[in-house]
Structures are given as C-alpha cells and as structure tokens.
Amino acid sequence: MNKFNGLLVSGIAALVLVVVPSSASAVVLSINGQSGTAQTLATTTASTTTMHMKIVSASNTHTFQWDATPWLLAQGGTGATSFTEGSIPFIWGGVFAQDNGQLYWNNTDSILSIGGTATAAKVNIKGSGSLDLLNVATSGGLPALYVKSSGNVGVGNSTPAHALDVSGAIYSRLVTATSSTINWNNGNVQSFTLTASTTLTFTGGQAGGVYKLILKQDSTGGWHTNWPSDIQWPNSGAKPSVTTTTNGKDVINFVKDVDGFYLGSYALKYATSTASANLVDYLVVAGGGGGGISQTNDGGNGTGGGGAGGVKTGSSYAVTTGSYTVTVGAGGAAHTTGSDSVFGSIIAHGGGAGGNGTNSVGGAALGGDGGSGGGGGFLVNSGGSPIGSEGYGGGTGVGGYSGGGGGAGGVGDTPGTGGIYNANGGVGIVNPITGSTVGENVSGTYYLAGGGAGSVADGTATANGGYGGGGNGAPLNTTGTGGAGTPNTGGGGGGANGFGASGGAGGSGVVIIRYPTGSVNATGGVVTTLGDYTIHTFTSNGTFTVSN
C-alpha cells in the first residue's frame, strides 16, 4: 500500500501506479514520507517474505506483476501453482498438497475415492499393502465396524476371522406380512395371520437363504393353507397340518437350495406352558390292604386276600419352584384298607381289605373296595371293586373257598374255576420307571402292587400272592396267619386260616420321581442317576423340593 500526496493506493497482483504532477511545473515532493529526488519502487528480496511480485516499468508506467512463484500460506497463498481436477487439497509440509491417485473427488457424480479413482459407488476404498481398509470406532475408541485388508468385516471387533464376524447378537426384525404372497426380500423372519383358508406364494428367496414363517390363526380359527409347489418337505414330502385352534401358532422353517426349492421343516402347536414348569415322570403306589381275619370258632373258614395299593403313573407332571408333599401310604393291618400315597396333587388309594371268614354271607366277609379290591371271604361273598383305573377287583369267595385280592395288573382269583380252589392274588405291574429297582424281582423284572392270596382251601396246594409283593395265603386247617405284603411294593396281605388267625398286613407304598438330569434342580428322597436321568425314591414320607 502506497500514499502519494495524500492519495491512498493499494494493489496485490498486477497493480498500475501512475504519479502525475498537478501542473507542468510541479514536482513530487514525497512518496510515503520519502523525499529523495530519486524514488525506487521494488518488492522485498528476502526469500522468506517475498511476495513474488515484480515491477515492470515502461513509458513512465510502473506495473506490479506476479513472478509465477507460488505464494506461501503465510502470504495468503497455497504454495502450489496448480491442482489436478478431482484432487482434494490437504496441508502437508506447510503447504497445500494433493495426491490425485489416492484421494479423489468426482464432482460431477459426487463420488469420493480413497486409494484410487474408482467410481463404482458413492464412496470407494481400495487397499494398499497390509494396511486394513476401515475402522469405525465408538466415542470410547472401541471398534464398531472394522474391515481388514483381506476383506473380512468385523462388527464389534477388529479381528474378524471370517467374511462376517460379529461380536454380539444379530437381530433380524420381524416383518408382518399383509398378504398371502410372502416376499422374503422384506425380511428373513415374517409373521402372517390366517383370516381365511389361504394359498401361500413365496417370492424373493435366494439360494442359501434361511427363512422363518410364523403362521398364526385369528380369533376365529379353523383356517388351512395350501403350500407353494416349490417347497420340498421332510419324511417323503409330508406337509404340516397347521394348528387350527383359535390363536394357534406354528413356526415353519425354510432353506432355499440351488435347485430353486425351499426345504421346509416345522414345529407345530405352540402354547404357553405352566410358568417356569418342567415335566417329571412319576410313580405313586399306595399301601396294600390287609388279609381277612378267620372266624374264632372254626378252623376251616377261609378269608380273602388284601387288595394291592392303587397305582398312579405318568410322564408329564409339571413342577415349578417350590415344595411338594410326598406321603407314602402304610399297609393296612388285618382286614383293614391300606393308606393313600400322595405326590403333590396326585393321590393313589390304599388297597381294599380282604373279606373275613364267617358262617354268613355279606358284611365283613365281603372284600373291601380300594385301589385294588380285596378278595371275598368264604361262602358266596364278592370281592371288592377298584377305584378308577388304579387296579383290579378282588376274587369272589365261593362255598368254602375265599377269593384272592386284586392286583394293579390283574383281578384276584375266584376259586372253583377250572377245578382250582386256591385263590392266588392278582398280578401287579412292572415298575414303569426305567432304572428303578424298587419292587419284587422276578427274573430281573421288578413288579409292584401284587394282590394278596386268599387262604388255602386245598391241603396239597398253596395260594400265592401276585407278583409285586402280594402275601401268600395261610395253609388249610391251621391257625395260620396270612403272609404280609412286601414293604414298599403296595402288595396286599394274604388271607388267614383257622380259629381267629389274622390276615397278613399289606405292604407299604412307594413314590418315585424321575426327570432328565439337568432339567430340574431338586432334593428329597434317595437320589440316584442312571444314564441321562435323575431318580428320587421315597420309601417314607418326605418333601420333593424344586429350586429352579
């Protein structure tokens, strides 16, 4: 900037400065305070501050011109004489720099390229040597998205070992399909509610794609589906029969193969189970009934065998966290019903009492009702009836012969049939809890709840309790006590014979609980394991406590 006689003049590049006297006789007295008769107009010569300007004088005209040397940043310049089209300038070494082959902007199509000038996408990154391609980090510096030089992509990690390596859960949003045409491009997991019987169509599936369809019934229910022809089903093409109950749900899975087929599999009839429930197998056997009592003044009046304790067994009893009372029923004394056994809400009833020996029909000579019925006493006295499906009835006394007690697996004998006058107890059942050895061992097979035999009517024979701990009948014409039922089998007691002898007591019951090891955490009873199962055996009262 220069001042000539109070005139302010400025210029940067090509500035023309003209000094004209106010009259022909006038002279320039001063330029910027310099009053020499000869004035020199020049740019600085210092290399660090030069403005790279030159003064070209001719015909009394002094022209300021750029000398084609780049101005430095400190002088308001760029430090460069030119830039290649598409280059993105950056500061390096104190001047503006460019690397068109590594950092490129296509302004026509708004495309950014790093590591090259590719224009295949809006943002293009090309690797260089062993350097990885991309690192997108969280505010805490943790890797959110990382791309290795190999092309492996890490989500949540910087060391992806595969094409896609995710640290954390992958979530595919559930899409609600609004028509019977399921377009898999909309989502890998879709839900469709049937409001009428419908023909389904699939579109958009890709080979190798994995898809799930949640198929639901509306509040009316009863709707069916026709499946697309490009589905192949397992088990020789067995299509699923979808749940038709109100609000029913099924899950149908598909994988599309290279041949264009959707390979289907399915799980049907989803429902809410008891909250936090697990299923256990159970066996509940009640106490057996006692054998009948003989008449005090007669040695030949036979008595009936006691009925076996009732049996309840199953494989789908739901247990939740808490305690379950276990009661093991006692065997009944002579001519007494056995006691019930209980597990939670499951009750097995005690076996019926054996009928007494009297000189009359009816009354105490009848076999008692129970889990299994007791055998009838001598003369024509009926055996007792079972309760529900817990066992079988007792045999009927006939003439001078008494009936056998019913077992859990069969009725007690009625004498006089086929020339047989000794009434064996009804057979019990094979222990249904695999791995349990509780019960009467018959050639390696364990039986429970056998009926007690009636007293012996033929002096050369015996009357045997049923397999499963049933007591034998007392011998003929003796003051004989009937055999007792075996403890913890629920076997009925054998009938007595002669002059007030007592029938055998029934055997006590047992409760057994089994479940797949690890599916339930529980205590109580004697705990054993066999294979994949845990078994709790209660031979006396206790508590089954579930902690999970």
Strand-pair category, 111-114 with 123-125: parallel
Query: Dihedral sign, CA of 455, 461, 462, 467?
Result: negative
Residue 137's pLDDT is what?
93
- Helix (H) or strand (E) segment spanning residue 538: strand 533-538
**Cα separations (Å) of 304 from 187, 379, 382, 416?**
74, 11, 10, 14
**Residue 443, C-beta contacts closer than 8 angstroms, at least 6 positions apart:** none
Question: Has this prediction a pTM greater than 0.75?
Answer: no
DSSP, collapsed to helix, strand or coil, labels residue 153 as strand
Distance CA 121, CA 110 (A): 10
> Beta partners for 440?
447
For residues 227 and 236, what is the distance between their CA atoms, to the nearest angstrom?
Answer: 16
CATH architecture of 175-270: Sandwich (2.60)
Give the residues of the chain that fall short of pLDDT 50. 1-19, 24-25, 47, 273-276
pLDDT at 2: 40
Cβ atoms of 225 and 198 within 8 Å: the answer is yes
H-helix or E-strand spanning residue 234: helix 234-237
Residues 6+ apart with CB under 8 A from 409: 392, 426, 427, 428, 429, 430, 447, 449, 450, 466, 467, 468
- β-pairing, 181-183 vs 201-203, is parallel
Residue 57 burial (C-beta neighbours within 10 Å; 0-12, 13-18, 19+): exposed
Distance CA 286, CA 301 (A): 29
* DSSP line for 257-295: -TTS-EEEEEEEEE---STT-EEEEEEEEPPPPPPPPPP
3-state secondary structure of 237: helix
Which amino acid belongs to residue 264?
G
pLDDT value of residue 39 = 61
| 74 phi and psi angles, rounded to 5 deg | -65, -20
The answer to whether the CB of 497 falls within 8 A of the CB of 480 is: yes
Which residues make up the CATH 2.60.120 domain(s) of the chain?
A: 175-270
